[in-house]
Structure 1
């Protein structure tokens, strides 16, 4: 790790006042803490992370140091090699920071074929952990089972279902399926009779149905698996049932084969959605709260990519509608190379239930010749594109190994309130995608590079440039460092509750106050914080604006140094610059 990166990480820990999802600081003056094994397992099983020894969290991440850094390095390397299974190979080094020695270890994420990493002393079931927020959580036996299953291609969807025969298939769906097979895959199926074709397609395993065949084409799969269905509930309040007595507005149990479940789920969603207005240029258009394409793809993904192992047969796909959001969750997290951060990236696709997905490629939606899915990794991109076209925030995805959840916020990105607030910032030259990013934060969404790219269909380079421009304008503040950067609104542009309805709010200009505080002398940022009473982040942001406008100059090139001082320049006046645009 570069020393500048370490400085940035520690500064972020101090600003946040706690550990980060991918950074853990431990005191460790003389020896490794007992909890290190858990953190090593958690980082290796999640997205990797950084361990810093020699920082005291209880004292604001003060650098207390490590007494014998070489010994601690050797002990940590031995623990990774001898106590963890599989052995871990972190990058370990010692850094001098604030007159103290810190030992820093970069823990890589294990590939899916090697997970879970666990403590040999307690075994796989009791010794496997995952990183959640800023802590380590022990995996449940079910989560461990999923990780082990994900080492290869799961075959749960190919398992035979005892007691079934071809008589349990829906005649119409099966005939449509076979017809498509013979039209589109003639070389493999044209010369086979129905039974042979069903066996080749793995609908039949011998003389009984496979689980995939039953779910895709069965007349009533819930006869054998009552909970392999979808439940839809429309709640009256943001927290669920109304405490005054109304439990739900609508409640639907969608049963049958997957094509019928998808159809019934979409009918229920249409019945419970409202029409909304969306600002487009000088006018507005009327549309459903959520675009149907996005909902269809989300429902199909939940049914097709859910876990179908025996441990999950008691859990259904759940769709929950609230006044402010729609949530779709399914048992079983993401599989294979697909991760939260690369969902929607072109070419990223991995199928847990490969046979089921293959069958549904040739299984049409009721009343349509369109197949349920296309098996080209196009589901998430289609969902994101539909949300962009509707000027809505992209869905938030959350994967916790045992469950995958897609949350669709119920608001128009560029409705009247957001448009008026962005206009009140008086920032000229913003791109459409920058306005969308600001609108997402206006509505309380989280924003990072991947979310910004998905929301605006940009490549990484353009997204980085545009986010950097918003930071340079003083509108956004990056947190988490370069590796793990997330963006929040600057303190002086955060909308108040009234911003939803009024447009006369103006961005507070802090330049004059800082120039008055400087006067004719030099001052550090800390001096200006004390003189103005403003938050450190606000002072830092407006110092950047003053530097760009040539109204002040710094005594050092390294603006990260706590010793850098600022002074006024005589070349320009505040009146000459105006509000930066």
Structure 2
């Protein structure tokens, strides 16, 4: 980390008034606090992070410094290497900041097949931590066991169910499944008797049904695993139950059967509980469901197919919860393998906890449809995002924890009539569709950063950065933070759109700053108060209009100066 990045980190902490999920500050003026072990373990078990020693959170993250920076750095390196298992090798540097020394450690995330990192003195179960919001939380014994099982490829879906044989499977589903395999994969299944097809596909092991086979093709899997089901609850208020009326829920349905049946029944229950909305699109209005069915189907399939099927999780259901302002789908077991929240939906990035079950579901049809449960090509998240984008809805929000994974669909259209009117009142010409999406997200109070913008628009990172930068230059967004902490908020004028005409044209201010003088960009910015990107935009416009000219060879040079042209002086002299 360089000094400029540290300054951004500290500025962000002071603005938030608290640590965040990626940064932890500790006073540590004389020696290492014991909680440093917990923080390093938590960062290593999550996605990495930055530990800053010498900042006092209680004093608004004032830089109080450390007494002996060299010793503290050595002690931190020794602790990470000798007291933690596996050893952690953070990058540790001493920075001179606001007149004092700070010790900064960049802690890397451990690869999933090496987690959990734990403090040896407390042991594996008591000494393993994970980062949640702005703090460190001890892992539960279930979470520790889940991390351990995730070091390799879990095989719980291939385990035989004791004393359960072919009679537990649905005969019609088995026949359709076997016929499809013989047709699609003749080299492996043509000519085999049905039981041999089931054994080769790992629906049976010997004469016993596997857990994956039971969930994919069983007549009634809940006879043997009562909690491997879906539950649906429709709550009357955003907080859940209506305390004023005592109404606990509007609908409450347990959804049972094999996975194909549960998917079909869950979609039917959702349709029964959804209303329809009118969405503005172009010059017309489109009548659609609150949530597109394609997005819901993918979320449900992902939840039941990728959930944790280990013995410790077989008492936990997949949950669907509907509120007036959102719908969420939650399953036990977080993301598996190298996939993270940040790269969900990215091309070519996928990982499967239940490899055999997913392979079975490729060839099992959803009742009443001509489609199978899944494609098993890692395309589910992209399909979900694209369906919401096509419906002009906000992108989904993902929450990955060790013990669960959750997807939340906000219940509002990005381009309802109010948002369309607000964008019109901004008075900005030439905005792209994706820029309008980003503005709508910010207006709706959603977190807007490069990742969220890419999810909503489908653009790559480079183009997303350029378009967000242009919105900053137009004075519509304000950039907060830098590097990986960068996010964007609406400027006060853009949020209200009441003073849009005054905000939209800054030519006069720039020309006034250049009256009878030649200035560089920093000097013009000091006079006008314009942000650098906004100033660069107006200087470019004024140069194109022939009212300002460049003194120097390159606009990129920090020393280049600007002056008004003769045309600008003539325009000013005209009555």
Confirm or deny a common fold (TM above 0.5). yes
Deviation at 1:247, TM superposition (A): 2.2
Residue equivalent to 1:468: 469
Pair 1:194 & 2:194 matched? yes
Contact 2:308–2:333 at 8 Å: present in 1 too? yes
Give, in whole Å, the separation in 2 of the partners of 1:234 and 1:10: 43
Residue equivalent to 1:221: 221
Deviation at 1:134, TM superposition (A): 1.3
Residue equivalent to 1:309: 310
* 1:211-240: CA deviation from partner (whole Å, max 9, x where unpaired): 000000000001011111111112222112
Residue equivalent to 1:458: 459
Give, in whole Å, the separation in 1 of the partners of 2:449 and 2:563: 36
Matches within 5 A, 1:430-441: 430-441=431-442
Distance 1:105 1:504, change over 3 A: closer
Name the SS of the counterpart of 1:202 in structure 2: coil
Give, in whole Å, the separation in 1 of the partners of 2:58 and 2:514: 38
Residue equivalent to 1:335: 336
Residue equivalent to 1:71: 71
Contact 1:236–1:248 at 8 Å: present in 2 too? yes
Contact 2:398–2:406 at 8 Å: present in 1 too? yes
Residue equivalent to 2:55: 55
Contact 1:220–1:256 at 8 Å: present in 2 too? yes
Contact 1:421–1:505 at 8 Å: present in 2 too? no
Name the SS of the counterpart of 1:295 in structure 2: helix
Give, in whole Å, the separation in 2 of the partners of 1:272 and 1:8: 46
Structure 2: state its 5+ residue gaps. Answer: 543-547, 549-561
Contact 1:221–1:257 at 8 Å: present in 2 too? yes
Give, in whole Å, the separation in 1 of the partners of 2:279 and 2:294: 17
Name the SS of the counterpart of 1:95 in structure 2: strand
Deviation at 1:279, TM superposition (A): 1.0
* 1:33-53: CA deviation from partner (whole Å, max 9, x where unpaired): 111101100111111111111
Matches within 5 A, 1:276-355: 276-355=277-356
* 1:534-570: CA deviation from partner (whole Å, max 9, x where unpaired): xxxxx96668645754699xxxxxxxxxxxxxxx998
Deviation at 1:132, TM superposition (A): 1.2
Distance 1:22 1:293, change over 3 A: same
Deviation at 1:282, TM superposition (A): 1.1
Name the SS of the counterpart of 1:392 in structure 2: coil
Name the SS of the counterpart of 1:483 in structure 2: helix
Give, in whole Å, the separation in 1 of the partners of 2:529 and 2:111: 40
Deviation at 1:26, TM superposition (A): 1.5
Contact 1:50–1:106 at 8 Å: present in 2 too? yes
Give, in whole Å, the separation in 2 of the partners of 1:48 and 1:335: 17
Number of residues paired by the alignment?
A: 545
Contact 1:216–1:363 at 8 Å: present in 2 too? yes
Residue equivalent to 1:565: none
Pair 1:102 & 2:80 matched? no
* 1:236-278: CA deviation from partner (whole Å, max 9, x where unpaired): 2211222203222222211110000001001111111111111
Contact 2:127–2:138 at 8 Å: present in 1 too? yes
Give, in whole Å, the separation in 2 of the partners of 1:301 and 1:84: 35
Distance 1:19 1:570, change over 3 A: farther
Residue equivalent to 2:256: 255
Contact 1:492–1:508 at 8 Å: present in 2 too? no
Give, in whole Å, the separation in 2 of the partners of 1:512 and 1:152: 62
Residue equivalent to 2:177: 177
Distance 1:549 1:514, change over 3 A: closer
Give, in whole Å, the separation in 2 of the partners of 1:32 and 1:432: 51
Pair 1:240 & 2:248 matched? no
Residue equivalent to 1:31: 31
Contact 1:222–1:228 at 8 Å: present in 2 too? yes
Give, in whole Å, the separation in 2 of the partners of 1:141 and 1:468: 45
Name the SS of the counterpart of 1:261 in structure 2: helix
Structure 1: state its 5+ residue gaps. Answer: 496-502, 530-538, 553-567
Distance 1:547 1:431, change over 3 A: closer
Give, in whole Å, the separation in 1 of the partners of 2:156 and 2:272: 34
Give, in whole Å, the separation in 1 of the partners of 2:171 and 2:508: 78
Residue equivalent to 1:87: 87
Contact 1:493–1:507 at 8 Å: present in 2 too? no
Give, in whole Å, the separation in 1 of the partners of 2:181 and 2:242: 49
Name the SS of the counterpart of 2:483 in structure 1: coil
Contact 1:235–1:241 at 8 Å: present in 2 too? yes
Deviation at 1:163, TM superposition (A): 2.4
Give, in whole Å, the separation in 2 of the partners of 1:78 and 1:284: 64
Residue equivalent to 2:553: none
Name the SS of the counterpart of 1:192 in structure 2: coil
Name the SS of the counterpart of 2:470 in structure 1: helix
* 1:170-199: CA deviation from partner (whole Å, max 9, x where unpaired): 011110100111011111111221111111
Deviation at 1:484, TM superposition (A): 2.6
Name the SS of the counterpart of 2:154 in structure 1: coil
Residue equivalent to 2:418: 417
Give, in whole Å, the separation in 2 of the partners of 1:138 and 1:321: 30
* 1:467-496: CA deviation from partner (whole Å, max 9, x where unpaired): 12122223223334212322222233335x
Distance 1:44 1:310, change over 3 A: same
Give, in whole Å, the separation in 1 of the partners of 2:348 and 2:538: 44
What TM-score, normalized to structure 1? Answer: 0.88
Give, in whole Å, the separation in 1 of the partners of 2:533 and 2:351: 45
Residue equivalent to 1:17: 17
Residue equivalent to 2:551: none
Deviation at 1:294, TM superposition (A): 0.7
